[in-house]
Structure 1
Amino acid sequence: MVLRRALQVIMVMALALAGAVQGTAHAEEGAPVTGRQLLFYNHAYGVLDRETADAIEHSSYLREFAHFQVRTTTGSGGQTWTGRYLMGRETYLELFGVGDLPGKDGTLGAAGLGVSTERAGDLPTVTERLRELGISDPVAFRQTRDFGDGVPVPWFDAVFTTDQYDVFGAWGMEYRPEYFADPRSNTEPAAHPGDVGRERYLPDTYRDRLMRDVTGVRLAVTARDLAGTVPLLKAGGFAVRSLPGGGVVAKGGGTTLRFDVVPLDQVGLRQVEMSLNRPVPYRHEERIGHSSLVVGPGAHAVWTFGDQDGPSPAG
Structure 2
Amino acid sequence: MTVRRALQMIMVVALALAGAVQGGVSSAQAEDGGTVGGRQLLFYNHAYGVLDRETADAIEHSAYLRDFANFQVRTTTGSGGQTWTGRYLMGRETYFELFGVGDVPGKDGTLGSTGMGVSTERRGDLATVLARLREQGIRDPVEFQQTRDFGDGVPVPWFDAVFTTDQYDLFGAWGMEYRQEYFADPRGNTEPGAHPDDVGRERYLTDAYRDHLMRDVTGIRLAVTARDLANTVPLLKAGGFEVRSLPDGGVVAKGGGTTLRFDAVPLDQVGLRQVEMSLNGPVSYRHEERIGHSTLAVGPGRRAVWTFGDQEQRASR
Normalization by structure 1: what TM-score?
Answer: 0.94
> Which amino acid is the alignment partner of residue 8 of structure 2?
Q
Output the CA distance in 2 between the equivalents of 1:228 and 1:9.
Answer: 22
Query: How many angstroms does 1:244 deviate by?
Result: 1.4
Q: 1:165 to 1:23 in 2, by over 3 A?
A: closer
1:8 and 2:8 equivalent?
yes
The residue number in structure 2 matching 1:238 is 241
Q: 1:26 to 1:284 in 2, by over 3 A?
A: closer
Output the CA distance in 1 between the equivalents of 2:215 and 2:10.
Answer: 34
Segment of structure 1 superposing worse, 3-12 or 187-196: 3-12
Residues paired across the two proteins, number: 307
The residue number in structure 2 matching 1:62 is 65
CA displacement, residues 278-314 of structure 1 (integer Å, 9 cap, x when unaligned): 0000000000000000000000000000237xxxxxx
Query: How many angstroms does 1:28 deviate by?
Result: 3.8
Query: How many angstroms does 1:134 deviate by?
Result: 1.1
- Picking from 245, 259, 263, the partner of 1:260 is 263
The residue number in structure 1 matching 2:154 is 151
1:105 and 2:108 equivalent?
yes
Output the CA distance in 1 between the equivalents of 2:134 and 2:74.
Answer: 36
Q: 1:24 to 1:137 in 2, by over 3 A?
A: farther
The residue number in structure 1 matching 2:304 is 301
Equivalent position SS for 1:53:
helix
Asked if structure 2 preserves the Cα contact closer than 8 Å seen for 1:246 and 1:260, the reply is: yes
Q: 1:224 to 1:137 in 2, by over 3 A?
A: same
CA displacement, residues 59-116 of structure 1 (integer Å, 9 cap, x when unaligned): 0000000000000000000000000000000000100000000111000000000000
Query: How many angstroms does 1:139 deviate by?
Result: 1.1
- Picking from 79, 88, 91, the partner of 2:82 is 79
- Picking from 202, 206, 217, the partner of 1:203 is 206
The residue number in structure 1 matching 2:284 is 281
Output the CA distance in 1 between the equivalents of 2:293 and 2:25.
Answer: 39
Counterpart mapping for 1:14-25 below 5 A: 19=21, 21-24=23-26
Normalization by structure 2: what TM-score?
Answer: 0.93
The residue number in structure 1 matching 2:133 is 130
Asked if structure 2 preserves the Cα contact closer than 8 Å seen for 1:155 and 1:179, the reply is: yes
Query: How many angstroms does 1:21 deviate by?
Result: 3.6
Output the CA distance in 2 between the equivalents of 1:12 and 1:282.
Answer: 49
Asked if structure 1 preserves the Cα contact closer than 8 Å seen for 2:18 and 2:162, the reply is: no
Q: 1:205 to 1:303 in 2, by over 3 A?
A: same
- Picking from 120, 142, 150, the partner of 1:117 is 120
Which blocks of at least 5 consecutive residues in structure 1 are unaligned?
309-315
Higher RCO structure (Cα 8 Å, ≥6 apart): 2
The residue number in structure 2 matching 1:311 is none
Output the CA distance in 2 between the equivalents of 1:38 and 1:24.
Answer: 23
Asked if structure 2 preserves the Cα contact closer than 8 Å seen for 1:20 and 1:135, the reply is: no
Counterpart mapping for 1:160-199 below 5 A: 160-199=163-202
Q: 1:138 to 1:26 in 2, by over 3 A?
A: farther
The residue number in structure 1 matching 2:253 is 250
Output the CA distance in 2 between the equivalents of 1:26 and 1:261.
Answer: 14
The residue number in structure 2 matching 1:94 is 97
Output the CA distance in 2 between the equivalents of 1:32 and 1:190.
Answer: 29
